């Protein structure tokens, strides 16, 4: 980086990555490891946010193994989920078994995402070509003759321009970069939103299911040692209606799904403790233009269904590095190289998003927003034919077209 925050506050680098989520930090780590100078912009002061998704998938753990970081990574406190079970109408049904995955780690590591991002960014900081600008929010693109040549950003001390041979938008599902680039978005519509909250946990409670379904209610509970991170599905746009029913009704719904939360649910005594997360599934028709590429949720916003968005974002980052490193080591990249990344990643994205759309349709009837009956034959099969649990395990744990470190 030309460390010339000069009078006009302009810095120059090879690759400017906008967004310090899983896609952006992994991309920054891998490019700087390959000697490419990067600046990663993250608008927040830290990674400490609740609403990101805590799942580190077997395929991501495999990448960490390929990078020689796995053993150290596994010393960071985490829980290991070796199978997924859902409690459906009170009956616990195993739906995925990771034991047979062709990876070193046959489990999903549950780790608060800020721990994962802190780990990866601390490793990246060991490379002199890695620069992370926290509290720096990209607000616009810099363009010259139809080429993106950098971004404008706001920092705690004023405006900053970052000039770069390549800008990568990894700024998530509300991406400013894709909006400013005018890239066209295909929106698939999702009939649900999620209420996101913490419920203190009785330490005596052992392992529980991840998902809970009962009549028209669906909930996910992520065990974070001393509390449950709870995701409670509501029909899209119905938060006001839920509020009108009152907190006691919501608490009762949660207790009905997971009676073991007990009186702890009463700690949800204010709507301030409950965040509304809007869920989307969308996809850019074209992920790039000259000087610019979008990956991760900025290119294809994922719903929480299956908990696979983080994995996909990381796989995008690896594919980007595998495709672009040689060019970026020298200078700008060609547009056909950017197109190649979209070609490679579009298929896995289509497969996973189609699966998520199907899950939403099956679980929630879009017109009445009431649960439809999930074919009990499907659950019967998973319950009685253990072999079949390998299929969801592969789709969630590895996913289509896994990427590997090549640089």
Ligand X SMILES: Cc1cc2nc3c(=O)[nH]c(=O)nc-3n(C[C@H](O)[C@H](O)[C@H](O)COP(=O)(O)OP(=O)(O)OC[C@H]3O[C@@H](n4cnc5c(N)ncnc54)[C@H](O)[C@@H]3O)c2cc1C
Q: Smallest distance, Å, CB 380 to ligand X?
A: 27
Length of the chain: 407
From the list 402, 395, 337, the residue with the least C-alpha distance to 165 is 337
The one-character DSSP state at 49 is -
C-alpha count within 13 angstroms, C-beta hemisphere, residue 318: 19
Place of tokens 């299956």: 306
Which range, of 47-55, 73-81, 160-168, 284-292, touches ligand X by CB under 6 A? 47-55
Place of tokens 């990674």: 47
183 is an interface residue for ligand X by CB under 6 A: no
363 is an interface residue for ligand X by CB under 6 A: no
Binding to ligand X (CB under 6 A) within 250-289 occurs at: 277, 279
- Which tokens go with 7? 């009078």
307 is an interface residue for ligand X by CB under 6 A: yes
309 is an interface residue for ligand X by CB under 6 A: yes
Q: Please, which residue, 329 or 341, has the CB nearer to ligand X?
A: 341
Q: Please, which residue, 313 or 333, has the CB nearer to ligand X?
A: 313
Which range, of 15-23, 184-192, 244-252, 282-290, touches ligand X by CB under 6 A? 15-23
Q: Are strands 147-155 and 137-144 parallel, antiparallel or unpaired?
A: antiparallel
Among 32, 55, 251, 353, binds ligand X (CB under 6 A): 55
249 is an interface residue for ligand X by CB under 6 A: no
From the list 319, 297, 318, the residue with the least C-alpha distance to 308 is 297
Residue 227's DSSP bridge partners are 200
313 is an interface residue for ligand X by CB under 6 A: yes
**What would the x/- binding string for ligand X be over residues 138 to 167, using CB under 6 A?**
x-----------------------------
Which range, of 77-85, 298-306, 345-353, 393-401, touches ligand X by CB under 6 A? 298-306
224 is an interface residue for ligand X by CB under 6 A: no
From the list 14, 129, 57, 27, the residue with the least C-alpha distance to 407 is 27
- CA dihedral in degrees (46, 150, 60, 287; nearest 10)? 130
| Cβ atoms 161, 142 nearer than 8 A | yes
Positions touching ligand X (CB under 6 A) are: 18-24, 41-44, 51-55, 137-138, 170-173, 176, 194, 196, 231, 277, 279, 296-298, 302, 304, 307-311, 313
């Amino acid at each position: 980086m030309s460390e010339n925050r000069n009078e006009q506050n302009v810095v120059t680098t090879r690759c400017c990555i906008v967004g310090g989520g899983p896609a952006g930090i992994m991309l920054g780590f891998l490019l700087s490891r390959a000697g490419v100078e990067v600046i990663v912009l993250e608008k927040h002061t830290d990674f400490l946010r609740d609403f990101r998704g805590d799942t580190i998938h077997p395929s991501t753990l495999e990448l960490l193994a390929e990078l020689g970081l796995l053993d150290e990574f596994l010393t960071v406190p985490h829980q290991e989920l070796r199978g997924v079970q859902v409690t459906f109408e009170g009956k616990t049904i195993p739906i995925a078994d990771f034991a047979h995955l062709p990876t070193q780690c046959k489990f999903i590591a549950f780790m608060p995402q800020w721990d994962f991002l802190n780990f990866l960014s601390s490793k990246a900081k060991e490379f002199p070509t890695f620069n992370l600008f926290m509290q720096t929010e990209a607000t616009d693109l810099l363009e010259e003759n139809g080429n993106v040549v950098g971004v404008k950003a706001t920092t705690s001390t004023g405006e900053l321009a970052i000039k770069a041979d390549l800008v990568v938008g990894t700024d998530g599902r509300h991406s400013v970069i894709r909006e400013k680039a005018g890239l066209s978005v295909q929106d698939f519509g999702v009939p649900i939103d999620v209420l996101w909250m913490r419920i203190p946990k009785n330490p005596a409670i052992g392992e529980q299911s991840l998902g809970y379904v009962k009549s028209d209610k669906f909930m996910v509970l992520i065990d974070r040692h001393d509390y449950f991170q709870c995701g409670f599905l509501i029909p899209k746009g119905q938060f006001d209606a839920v509020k009108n029913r009152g907190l006691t009704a919501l608490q009762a719904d949660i207790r009905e799904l997971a009676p073991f939360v007990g009186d702890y649910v009463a700690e949800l005594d204010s709507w301030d403790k409950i965040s509304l997360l809007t869920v989307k599934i969308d996809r850019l028709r074209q992920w790039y233009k000259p000087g610019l590429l979008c990956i991760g949720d900025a290119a294809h916003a994922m719903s929480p269904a299956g908990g696979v968005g983080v994995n996909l974002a990381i796989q995008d980052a690896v594919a980007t590095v595998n495709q672009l490193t040689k060019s970026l080591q020298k200078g700008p990249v060609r547009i056909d190289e950017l197109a190649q990344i979209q070609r490679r990643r579009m298929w896995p994205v289509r497969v996973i998003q189609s699966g998520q759309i199907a899950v939403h349709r099956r679980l929630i009837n879009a017109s009445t927003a009431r649960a439809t009956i999930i074919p009990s034959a499907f659950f019967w099969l998973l319950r009685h034919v253990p072999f079949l649990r390998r299929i969801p395990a592969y789709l969630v744990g590895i996913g289509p077209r896994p990427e590997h470190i090549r640089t």
